[in-house]
Amino acid sequence: MKATLTRKEYKEFNTYVDFLNAKHDISIPHTVEKIGDKFLVEMLEDIDVNKLDNLLDINVDLLYNATQTNAKRR
């Protein structure tokens, strides 16, 4: 699963990944490739994004977007 994130989205994504690891001992294996001013994030495992959203108690769909193939945005 891949997503292209802006700098702001990527920063938020990293904040969420760090929080989940520190507070819930959940690892989110992923790779990152910088392409111009964007970041191509690839999730390396199937992740239940709804569960993560509940743990984060957020109303944003950044994690959901990061786990979807965004071929239509390329």
Domain count, the chain: 1
Q: What percent of the chain has pLDDT over 90?
A: 45
For residue 27, give its domain range: 2-73
Q: For every one of its 74 residues, what pLDDT tens digit does the chain have, with 9 covering 90 and above?
A: 789 999 999 999 999 899 889 888 999 999 999 999 999 999 999 888 888 878 887 544 555 555 554 444 44
β-pair partners for 41:
3, 32
Reported pTM: 0.71
Q: Look up residue 69 and give its amino acid.
A: T
Q: Please tell me the distance from the alpha carbon of residue 59 to that of residue 39, in angstroms, as a whole number.
A: 22
- DSSP labels for 9-72? HHHHHHHHHHHHHHHH-----EEEEEETTEEEEEESS---HHHHHHHHT----HHHHHTS--GG
